Chain A
Amino acid sequence: MRRMDTSWRATLTMTLRTSLLYGILSVLGAAFTLPLVWMLSVSLQDASGVFAQPFQWIPPSPRWENYIDAVTLFPFSRYLFNTSVITVSVVVLTVLSSSLVAYGFSRLRFRGRDALFAVCLSTMMLPGQVTMIPLYAAYARLGWIDTWYPLIVPAVFGSPFYIFLFRQFFMTIPREYDEAARLDGAGRFRIYWSIILPLARPAVATVALFCFIGAWNDFFNPLIYINSPEKATLTLGLHMLKNQIVGSGSVQWHVLMAAALVVMIPNVIVFIAAQKHFVKGLQMGGLRG
């Protein structure tokens, strides 16, 4: 009887604990999802619906035409092409350069390596506002203003944060792999390209994901370096759309939210895709023992 009582109590405790955990997670999840749901709801309403009180979360007659307005009020397809080319370039170059530098820091032994790594990391501490004018002046001297070079070329030199991420990951890959490959006659680059990089798929997926989101959503750099409307990115397009809407009435949040949601879609797709690769990489990687 006592044994049954204890078992019942344990089940009850477990159920309560799980319920509490799920409850907290649900509240947190709702808190994070709420702005997105608000965006979605507003994007399907008319101008007056945004400020209606009480707010109607489910619009009685959804205005799907807001989405058509959102992609026709500015050169959406051109900006989508521009943003895609810039983002893919930045992701590919950043992953390649950062992983290569990180490989050096994690696998090569040379004098001053750790000091150099510390210097590399310290560049993260410099706020963008400090480097903005010198960088602009440098790019201007190179004749790169109003081109995509200032947005793409820095990716060739890696990013300290991603170098750090890759290095930490590479350090967890046993050196025996390198030694085995070396016995088979592989050189440094072959080891990096054929052994380390495939094993580091989770890190590649993580860096690619962060990098994609960063480049896709970047507003400040295109604002500073791009002058011509035909070279603009989607974020600049949204900015332009906001001003345009202001000029023809008040800010029409419903159209702006629809445009912002459309611009957000690739981010969501890439996130889902990268998440899958991330898990797959963990399963297929050589770290399971």
Chain B
Amino acid sequence: MRACIGVVILAVFVAGCGGNQQSAPGTVTYNCPANAVEVAVLQKEIPAFAETSGVTIVLHPFSGQEKLYAMMAADKAPDIFYTNSTMRDELAASGRLLDLRTVAAHDPFVGRLWPHVVDGGMAADSGWYSVGNWEFTCGVYYRKDMFDAAGIAYPDSAWTWDEMVAAARALTRRSGPGGAPARYGIYCGSHFVEALEIMNGSRFPRGGTRLELPATSREVYRRYLDLMNDGLMPDLRTVQALGMQAPQLLQTGRVAMLVEAVPHQSLIEALTVPWGVAPLPRFPGKAPAYFRSASGGLSISSHTADARASWKALKWIIGGASTYQPNPVLRDVDFVGGWESRYAALRGSGFREVWDLSLRHNGGDPRFFVRFSSWASAPIMERLQPLLDRVWARELPVDELAAHVDEINRAARTQIETSLRTSVYGSSFRARIETDLQTMEVAPAP
């Protein structure tokens, strides 16, 4: 018992060490990803940055949305943290984020960013609230050995959906128990279907307030489901149940082609088999529009004690910290060359072509959680997602999903109106939401 009480006394002494080491001028707290390697690299480089800039960065690696909101409620938000498009406008509208224009005016760093990266951080009031800290596109990774064995030519940058389906058919091996495929031709997670929608001509304005499901999108949904219906792609629930992640699917030969993010660090590091990567297949007669992510970035808290120090730290994280270099959000870095020198397997893999195509034909980020404005996203997604899940489980026909669109928009509109009455939004945001509501044409209830 005495020993236990001794431990308690020790704990009381040790427990109080540190605490609230934030919000002092010149000291900036950063909610970095909880990754031991990343933290170690940053911690090693921070002293040198502090020496040259006079700004000390304190890392807070254990982040999470619940924690961030709790910290904000207690006015203890970290100075720099990650926000995605779903939460950014909402936080900006309630005055939680610093408008970066106040600290970044005339800063040459802004000129180093791709214009679409700057645009992606703008909110409805034209304020600039986040700087994209990373970007990626997506493509089709494929096993070269399997293509060779099947006598199929590797995909090129102009390959079409039908060619991809033909390749998947030729690569599928039905030698499993009961004729089940031991190897599937392709796997494409449902979160990449939105990228295929823009390839088929669907266009979505950023910050939308209503759900639209054009014929071009519905056609993609049907084609995607056909991959499963024809046994060319594993059922999504089967993949979930297996617990396998993308690299493992391709590495173990469960699939011959895989739609995934480009570049995908863990996939590149994990693959030991010969592989290549091709752009997403094109749809006949449609202009190419490749996926380019713009969902999130780093924001600065409006309660930061030293806005200029926070801006300096943010710039260093994006453009200086070695763990994030070369950073694709910067236009003056050789991103492809940097990655090719880091990973020899990327040379001649098709990575350069895929990346260049996504820059030349930037179709933006059409993902559902990015597609809608901050206030419309939750009202729409909480109704749409369960229906989408049923569509991907092949329990709900695509046409029936389309029949729900008006109902979803009506409910979303009601919810946005309620939120406008009950939430504290800045005047410019309020005016913008009101304008959106006025222009939001919703079919009357039947």
Q: A residues within 8 Å of B by Cβ? A: 48, 51, 73-74, 84-86, 88-89, 91-93, 129, 132-133, 136-137, 139-141, 143-149, 151-152, 222-224, 226-229, 231-232, 236, 239-241, 243-244, 246-251
Please pick, from B14, B39, B76, B242, the residue contacting A229 in the complex, using a CB distance under 8 A.
B39
* B154 at the A interface (CB under 8 A): no
Q: Are B37 and A88 in contact (CB under 8 A)?
A: no
Q: Are A240 and B34 in contact (CB under 8 A)?
A: yes
Per-residue A-contact encoding for B58-75, CB less than 8 Å = 1, 0 else: 111110101101110111
The answer for the CA separation of A35 and B245 in the assembled complex, in Å, is 20
Measured CB to CB, the closest approach of chain B to A185, in angstroms, equals 24
Residue of A nearest to B265 (CB): A247
The answer for the CA separation of A134 and B37 in the assembled complex, in Å, is 34
Residues in A with CB closer than 8 Å to B38 are 244, 247
Q: Are A250 and B248 in contact (CB under 8 A)?
A: yes
* B153 at the A interface (CB under 8 A): no
Please pick, from A137, A148, A248, the residue contacting B11 in the complex, using a CB distance under 8 A.
A148
* B52 at the A interface (CB under 8 A): no
Q: Are B11 and A147 in contact (CB under 8 A)?
A: no
Residues in A with CB closer than 8 Å to B35 are 240, 243-244, 246-247
The answer for the CA separation of A149 and B14 in the assembled complex, in Å, is 9
Residue of A nearest to B19 (CB): A147
Q: Are A152 and B12 in contact (CB under 8 A)?
A: yes
Q: Are A148 and B20 in contact (CB under 8 A)?
A: no
Q: Are A250 and B20 in contact (CB under 8 A)?
A: no
Measured CB to CB, the closest approach of chain A to B316, in angstroms, equals 20
With A86-B11, A88-B8, A250-B270 as known contacts, state yes or no: A241 contacts B36, CB within 8 Å: yes
Residues in A with CB closer than 8 Å to B37 are 244, 247-248
Q: Are B76 and A145 in contact (CB under 8 A)?
A: yes
The B53-101 residues at the A interface (CB cut-off 8 A) are: 58-62, 64, 66-67, 69-71, 73-76
Q: Are A232 and B70 in contact (CB under 8 A)?
A: no
The answer for the CA separation of A236 and B242 in the assembled complex, in Å, is 26
Residue of B nearest to A93 (CB): B8
* B445 at the A interface (CB under 8 A): no
The answer for the CA separation of A129 and B66 in the assembled complex, in Å, is 9
With A133-B70, A239-B34, A249-B270 as known contacts, state yes or no: A92 contacts B247, CB within 8 Å: no
Q: Are B62 and A85 in contact (CB under 8 A)?
A: no
Per-residue A-contact encoding for B220-256, CB less than 8 Å = 1, 0 else: 0000000000000000000000111111100010000
Residue of B nearest to A52 (CB): B252
Residue of B nearest to A89 (CB): B11
* B4 at the A interface (CB under 8 A): yes
The answer for the CA separation of A227 and B31 in the assembled complex, in Å, is 9
Most chain A CB within a 10 A radius of its CB, from B15, B21, B59, B60: B15
Measured CB to CB, the closest approach of chain A to B43, in angstroms, equals 8
With A92-B8, A146-B18 as known contacts, state yes or no: A229 contacts B61, CB within 8 Å: yes
The answer for the CA separation of A92 and B265 in the assembled complex, in Å, is 46
Interface of A is mostly: helix
* B149 at the A interface (CB under 8 A): no
With A74-B36, A132-B66 as known contacts, state yes or no: A147 contacts B17, CB within 8 Å: yes
Measured CB to CB, the closest approach of chain B to A93, in angstroms, equals 6
Per-residue A-contact encoding for B110-139, CB less than 8 Å = 1, 0 else: 000000000000000000000000000000
* B105 at the A interface (CB under 8 A): no
Q: Are A73 and B36 in contact (CB under 8 A)?
A: yes
Q: Are B14 and A85 in contact (CB under 8 A)?
A: yes
The answer for the CA separation of A250 and B247 in the assembled complex, in Å, is 6
* B266 at the A interface (CB under 8 A): yes
Closest 7 CB pairs of A and B: A148-B15, A140-B74, A89-B11, A136-B70, A137-B74, A147-B19, A227-B60
The answer for the CA separation of A237 and B250 in the assembled complex, in Å, is 29
Measured CB to CB, the closest approach of chain A to B340, in angstroms, equals 19
Residues in B with CB closer than 8 Å to A88 are 4, 7-8, 11
* B148 at the A interface (CB under 8 A): no
Residues in A with CB closer than 8 Å to B20 are 140, 143, 145-146
Measured CB to CB, the closest approach of chain B to A96, in angstroms, equals 9
Residue of A nearest to B182 (CB): A53
The answer for the CA separation of A226 and B4 in the assembled complex, in Å, is 23
Residue of A nearest to B7 (CB): A88
Q: Are B34 and A243 in contact (CB under 8 A)?
A: yes
Please pick, from B14, B58, B75, B266, the residue contacting A246 in the complex, using a CB distance under 8 A.
B266
The answer for the CA separation of A1 and B17 in the assembled complex, in Å, is 84
Q: Are A146 and B248 in contact (CB under 8 A)?
A: no
Q: Are A51 and B76 in contact (CB under 8 A)?
A: no
Most chain A CB within a 10 A radius of its CB, from B16, B18, B73: B18
Q: Are A224 and B18 in contact (CB under 8 A)?
A: no
The answer for the CA separation of A51 and B244 in the assembled complex, in Å, is 8
Residues in B with CB closer than 8 Å to A248 are 37, 266, 269
* B443 at the A interface (CB under 8 A): no
Residues in A with CB closer than 8 Å to B66 are 129, 132, 224
Residues in B with CB closer than 8 Å to A91 are 4
Measured CB to CB, the closest approach of chain A to B141, in angstroms, equals 13
Q: Are A231 and B71 in contact (CB under 8 A)?
A: no
Residue of A nearest to B73 (CB): A133
* B181 at the A interface (CB under 8 A): no
Q: Are B62 and A243 in contact (CB under 8 A)?
A: no
Q: Are A228 and B18 in contact (CB under 8 A)?
A: yes
Q: Are A240 and B252 in contact (CB under 8 A)?
A: no
The B268-297 residues at the A interface (CB cut-off 8 A) are: 269-270
Residues in A with CB closer than 8 Å to B64 are 223
Residues in A with CB closer than 8 Å to B344 are none
* B320 at the A interface (CB under 8 A): no
The answer for the CA separation of A50 and B245 in the assembled complex, in Å, is 12
Q: Are A223 and B247 in contact (CB under 8 A)?
A: no
The answer for the CA separation of A4 and B67 in the assembled complex, in Å, is 74
Q: Are A89 and B19 in contact (CB under 8 A)?
A: no
* B10 at the A interface (CB under 8 A): yes
Q: Are A236 and B62 in contact (CB under 8 A)?
A: yes
The answer for the CA separation of A215 and B149 in the assembled complex, in Å, is 55
Q: Are B245 and A250 in contact (CB under 8 A)?
A: yes
Measured CB to CB, the closest approach of chain B to A80, in angstroms, equals 14
Residue of B nearest to A135 (CB): B70
Measured CB to CB, the closest approach of chain A to B7, in angstroms, equals 4
* B33 at the A interface (CB under 8 A): yes
Q: Are B266 and A250 in contact (CB under 8 A)?
A: yes
Q: Are A137 and B247 in contact (CB under 8 A)?
A: no
Please pick, from A48, A73, A92, A243, the residue contacting B7 in the complex, using a CB distance under 8 A.
A92
Residues in A with CB closer than 8 Å to B17 are 147, 231
